[in-house]
Amino acid sequence: MMMGMQFSGTGLLMMVILAIALVFPFWKLLPRFGFPAWLAVFAIIPLGALILLWILALSDRPVKEAT
């Protein structure tokens, strides 16, 4: 039996809430920088959020032309 690897309903719920809290901001930001929103799913993977932050920080945000 693996000690410390038990998932109760509360633990699973907390992981889902954390995943949503990580994905949602990226889901809103990525299209503003010209990237597809589905890339936000990579925020769940360890170091994925950090890599996405670096991509956003180093990319140029498209400028809207004044009309």
**In a domain? residue 53:** yes
**In a domain? residue 7:** no
pLDDT digits (tens, 9 = 90+) for 5-62: 566 778 888 888 988 998 999 999 999 988 999 999 999 988 999 999 999 999 887 7
The pLDDT of residue 46: 83
Domain range for 25? 12-58
The pLDDT of residue 1: 45
Inform me whether the pLDDT recorded for 66 exceeds 90.
no
The pLDDT of residue 38: 93
Number of domains in the chain: 1
- On whether the pTM is more than 0.85, the answer is no
Residue with tokens 């956003």: 56
**In a domain? residue 33:** yes
